[in-house]
Structure 1
């Protein structure tokens, strides 16, 4: 271990050596006659070089750096001279004046080579270690040490400015029980012993699954320091990161596809965090690791390990969190840092996290409705309650080995809601989602269908990749746009359309949570999709009695003080006009808006006009006789 005092003494000795060498050069020049022929003067200087060219003393910091980068003795000597010139700038200027063939007052490679007694033809090429690893900086004609390298050799702290925002150490966190840290570390050792020049761990799993934490644990088991490189690093950043890895025994994690320069050696251990497989490289051993899927005991252990307050919360709240949220390790670590004080606070923060992950990919739907807000046949409500119950308990059942082995695939909980517009499909999804305590996101499949071949699949991949590993219920609206029946292949468009349908079938099988598909046309849905549904529900148009319940329930909100007086009109409207729940809500809103604008109370005429507006959307209307009937004037 080199102490601060030892380092200072070694650096002083190096500067003294340069001072003595320059003094000898100056004495040789003073002894020469200006009238001597050039050949004789060069011979005299060559003799002086031979006398003064004893190797410079190498500080321990420079010796260690030379070993790390496999530098030759001549490269090490050049760095020693440049270090001395940097520590004592006045000596650097003298070096240029006395040793450079052109007498330039800056440190040049020619001056350094002359001082060290190297041949006049001595050069450093781009293939030499000092150049490949950017240990030196050339600003013609000057030559100097890279500032970061200079600071390191002098014992000062200096972070490479290129890496300030692009590389970060991975904090130490205890790996979760059951993670294969020791097994992976031993596998890495075997690969290195077999001759691999680098071992790359391809860690597969969603964001927040603990990939960085597992990699960091393996790296530390190998006495390496784990660090992660920011996405999309530029080429200079990649080179600087590789140099830092060599300097500080780093194990680097790459977050997306990156092109590594072929002239630089790679870290002994790397991690590949991109979803796509890493490109094969000669001499690199790839180890693919799937992040462990947590069963219920593992989830509970993760909560207790990463969120200590979890152990103090009531049993019912702990069950609610374990059953309702997957809450991967990264999310739990962030939850602990946020200071979640109670179960409700934890759920609120998990909801925010889910919303932020899907922002820009899906539409966030509020979930204000409760079971009492639904006006549906009792059989439909019963099925919806069963769907909510299954969404809570099926993941727990599948985690039991005896049951889970029967469902190696197809563990999705998918429901198909069928029915005309306005019959309550979206509201039912909102009620079920509220019961589960999860956020609800809507994907309008009709908007991502493209007429261009292959573009629909790209849109699907982007959206499904974003929502697949998020704690949320996803409503796929206009499902028949993509879940429609496959067609006979007549051209390339048909072939690609069927490929996209097959892709959706596979995605639905692997879906990890509750997915609700909504369609207005059940007959258009491919049978292969309907077989994968846990539940298929038909939402019929409301009958007269149900319409009256909807009118009355919504009327208590829109016109509580006028409901009794307008009850006859509402009764006739419910009996005679077939409106959906959404249309009834629209009619009441129109009536209230007109009355508010007029500064008056809602009247029967306002209600009838609201009904007309809703019918006009469908190309219908009220005949004078029907209007008079609603107003009680027939």
Structure 2
């Protein structure tokens, strides 16, 4: 290997003007020049003792002469102490850096040394390992000094020698131990672990090199874990947390409810405390194949950018017992960390106690402001965003995504924004977990489709108003203090089958712009002790992640009256009812329970309801409207349909009338003619057979002859 004889004076090929424009880069290049001067002297010293410097195969083999020389004199060590020229040059470089920092410029090498607790020797070793990434000539220099063309990075022994230190210096060697700042902070990698300590290779990760050169692009290893949590302007609640973080509080936990502003509050607090924000999606981290390495890189990234970690949702790390260890990894990082979740904090999750706070919800007026800020076009003046968004419990990030979704939907209509676009964008933020436990219905009916008594309609509209304004009444005005109760609204729909209970729930969901999720409680009940409660808890937990109307059908299956305990069955049945009563009180959404047997419900349950709405069997006038509505305007009819007779004679609920209309439509389709009175009478007969009712002449009157045999 031929030694380098005429190295250039600048270790990095760069425009001098660039170095002058960036004081941090100029300082880095100045320090690299000092490394080059030491390498020059080491090369020169090596040449003086090299008997055959022009050997083209040096480093590829060991000759007899080389072995003899090693036995007689030992291997010459590269020990290069700084001289006066180095000292003067270093003093001049540091003086320029002092002036630049005083002028407000960032000197990244100095900032890195301060933030990671590097000593002067640590910085020197880091620079020695760094220069091959700044100038590829150093690969050849180090290959020559290592006497091995395949080893083009400095070894530990070479680095200590270039710093003027003995390889036997225990203090110097300790700076390269796994727990020393360079390696613990992820600034320096020691490779070739199977080699002796002094022969191990030093390498600086690419992310550190890029950072020192002014590049703040996150490490590719963690890009998929990062989330740009929004900073909400004017978040007054962040001032207290900001003061705590600024005074050195290392860990905080914000417990939030659905639609909470935890991430925004944490991001605002870190910004006020003078730090950047590194948002981490804990759900993705839980699925990472190597979370320990990922947390280590996240910690390094936060330290490089003087940021704090904002980590959510914590619940993602508590679903499986083996994932809770990740919480300890996150809470042990040497930067401020704020975690957000819905569960109470468990003291076993961390070795240091966090500052426990409650994250408030984004109230309706703030939702409109955030939505407007995220929407890329002017909002039509006739749209009341506060009114439209009030039923939706959304985080700031969900609001931003909802606005983007509405913008995309509006392009389908020529860019004109409609209320349905706003609601669809908000509904798109729902989690999908509840779809596996309940049937989702996209509402397709509205208030004109309901045929109900006036008082029932009034109560339904009151229920809608409660759902729309619950945040203002129960939140801003504090009308439900204490007791641990949520802001949910719960109503009971009681009435015979087919009287319009499910349809009314669908209308309410449509008016609020929400989806309807129907749960059959009869399928939730399990014969094994404790399984019913688990099934219910899964439903309520998933419902907490959606904006929708939750409809429990056949509610009397579990909300029945609690009985005297005579055996174990009675005791556990009462436990199920008591659990559900308690869980309903803490639910934050809109829950509707439907039952055919109101008298069977427990009094303690009905006391906890916001509204109990009775759905009576329709009277003749309502039945007349239902017959006309169910037959619809499209189905062809003959002129002899006697709907007045049907309404007066057949005491059927709305659901039964709809079933009769559908059956008649099939009969008409088969015959290829419009619906006739004979089709209706035949369809009523089939419905009576389903209901187990007799076909009496007093009911069918003059149309008795149309009945099939």
1:130 paired residue number: 182
Taking structure 1 as reference, are residues 11 and 495 closer, same or farther at Cα in structure 2, changes over 3 Å only?
A: farther
For 1:344 and 1:156, the matched residues in 2 are separated by 40
Q: Establish whether residue 41 from structure 1 lines up as the match of residue 77 from structure 2.
A: no
Name whichever of 525-534 and 310-319 sits farther off: 310-319
Partner Cα distance (2:632, 2:528) in 1: 49
Do the aligned residues in 1 keep the contact of 2:521 with 2:558 (CA within 8 Å)? yes
Alignment of 1:363-512 (within 5 A): 363-388=439-464, 391=467, 396-398=472-474, 401=477, 409=485, 412-436=488-512, 438-468=514-544, 472-486=548-562, 498-512=574-588
Residue 518 of structure 1 aligns with which residue? 594
The unaligned stretches of length 5 or more in structure 1 are none
Q: Which runs of 5+ in 2 are unaligned?
A: 1-21, 54-64, 95-106, 196-200, 286-290, 318-323
CA distance in 1, matches of 2:159, 2:518: 69
**Contact map agreement 2:493 2:595 (CA 8 A) in 1:** yes
Alignment partner, residue 46 of structure 2: 25
Does 1:272 pair with 2:272?
no
More displaced stretch, 211-220 vs 334-343: 334-343
Provide TM-score, normalisation by structure 2: 0.73
For 2:80 and 2:514, how far apart are their aligned partners in 1?
82
Residues 287-333 of structure 1 show CA distances to partners (whole Å, capped at 9, x for unaligned) of: 22222356xxx643663576379998769946744765666644554
- 1:554 match: 630
Deviations 1:524-580 (A, max 9, x none): 322211112233233233455544442244235364532x3131xx55655554433
Which aligned pairs between 1:185-204 and structure 2 lie closer than 5 A?
Answer: 185-190=242-247, 192=248, 198=250, 200-204=251-255
Classify the secondary structure of the residue corresponding to 1:164.
Answer: helix
Q: Is 1:605–1:631's contact at 8 Å kept on the other side of the alignment?
A: no
Which runs of structure 2 are paired with 1:94-173 in the superposition (5 Å)?
94-99=141-146, 105-107=151-153, 108-113=155-160, 116=163, 117-119=165-167, 124-140=176-192, 142-156=201-215, 159-173=218-232
User: Which deviates more from structure 2 when the two are superposed, residues 132-141 or residues 162-171?
Assistant: 132-141
Q: Supply the distance in 1 between the matched residues of 2:334 and 2:230 (Cα, whole angstroms).
A: 19
Q: Distance in 2 between matches of 1:321 and 1:94?
A: 69
Query: 2:177–2:183: 8 Å Cα contact kept in structure 1?
Result: yes
For residues 103 and 407 of structure 1, the distance between their equivalents in structure 2, rounded to whole angstroms, comes to 75
Change (3 A) 1:21 1:350: farther
- Which residue number corresponds to residue 275 of structure 2? 224
Would the aligned equivalents of 1:479 and 1:518 in 2 still touch at CA under 8 Å? yes
8 Å contact from structure 1 (residues 469, 512) kept in 2: no
Which sits farther off after the overlay, 73-82 or 431-440?
A: 431-440
SS in 1 for 2:518: strand
Superposed CA offset, 1:427-470 (max 9, x none) = 22234444555554433333433445444444433432444475
Secondary structure at 2:179 match in 1:
coil
**Are the structure 2 counterparts of residues 540 and 346 from structure 1 closer, same or farther at C-alpha, using a change threshold of 3 Å?**
closer
Q: TM-score, normalised by structure 1?
A: 0.81
Distance 1:615 1:30, change over 3 A: farther
Give the Cα–Cα distance (whole angstroms) in 2 for the partners of residues 168 and 392 of structure 1.
30
**1:475 aligned counterpart, secondary structure:** strand
Deviations 1:223-254 (A, max 9, x none): 10012112231222111101111111111011
How far has the Cα of 1:221 moved from its partner? 1.3
* CA positional deviation for 1:174: 0.9
Change in CA separation of 1:162 and 1:575 when aligned onto 2, cut-off 3 Å: same
Aligned-pair CA distance for 1:12 = 3.2
Give the drift of 1:218.
1.0
Q: State the partner residue of 1:214.
A: 265
Deviation at 1:41, TM superposition (A): 1.7
Judge conservation of contact 1:71–1:130 (CA < 8 Å) in 2: yes
Change (3 A) 1:62 1:607: same
- In the alignment, does 2:641 pair up with 1:566? yes
How many angstroms does 1:583 deviate by? 1.9
Q: Is the 8 A contact 2:450 2:504 kept in 1?
A: yes
Paired position in structure 2 for 1:603: 676
For residues 519 and 593 of structure 1, what CA distance do their matches in structure 2 show? 31
Distance 2:543 2:344 in 1: 21
Distance in 2 separating the partners of 1:316 and 1:405:
33
**2-structure distance, mates of 1:456, 1:572:** 48
Establish whether residue 539 from structure 1 lines up as the match of residue 612 from structure 2: no
Q: In the alignment, is the contact (CA less than 8 A) between 2:259 and 2:393 conserved in 1?
A: no
Out of 292, 298, 318, the position equivalent to 2:360 is 292
Is the deviation greater in 235-244 or in 135-144?
135-144
Mapped pair 1:244 → 2:301: yes
Q: Counterparts of 1:477 and 1:264 in 2: how far apart (Å)?
A: 44
Q: Which moved more, 1:454-463 or 1:15-24?
A: 454-463
CA contact under 8 A between 2:232 and 2:264: conserved in structure 1? Answer: yes
1:134, CA displacement in angstroms?
Answer: 3.0
SS of match in other structure, 2:76: helix
- Check conservation: 2:239, 2:269, Cα contact below 8 A: yes
Judged with a 3 Å threshold, the aligned counterparts in structure 2 of structure 1 residues 427 and 537 are, in CA distance, closer, same or farther, namely: same
Does structure 2 conserve the Cα–Cα contact (< 8 Å) formed by 1:15 and 1:87?
A: no
**C-alpha separation in 2, matches of 1:541 and 1:88:** 88
* 1:175 CA displacement: 2.6
Choose the corresponding residue for 1:66, options 106, 113, 131.
113
Q: 1:175, 1:214 within 8 Å by CA — same for their partners in 2?
A: no
1:632 aligned counterpart, secondary structure? helix
Count residues in correspondence.
616
Give, in angstroms, the shift of residue 356 of structure 1: 4.1
Question: RMSD of the alignment, in Å?
Answer: 4.3
Partner SS state of residue 186, structure 2: coil
With over 3 angstroms needed to count, the CA separation of the structure-2 counterparts of 1:539 and 1:592, relative to structure 1, is same
CA distance in 2, matches of 1:556, 1:566: 13
Question: What secondary structure, in the 3-state scheme, does the structure 2 residue paired with 1:273 have?
Answer: strand
User: Is contact 1:21–1:52 with CA below 8 Å preserved after alignment?
Assistant: no
3-state SS, counterpart of residue 422 of structure 1 = coil
Quickly say closer, same or farther: Cα 1:560–1:106, change in 2 above 3 A. Answer: same
Task: Label 1:29 to 1:226 Cα distance change in 2 as closer, same or farther (>3 A).
Answer: same
Following TM superposition, by how much is the alpha carbon of 1:337 offset from its aligned partner in structure 2, in angstroms?
5.3
- The equivalences for 1:304-319 within 5 A come to 304=369, 307=372, 317=384
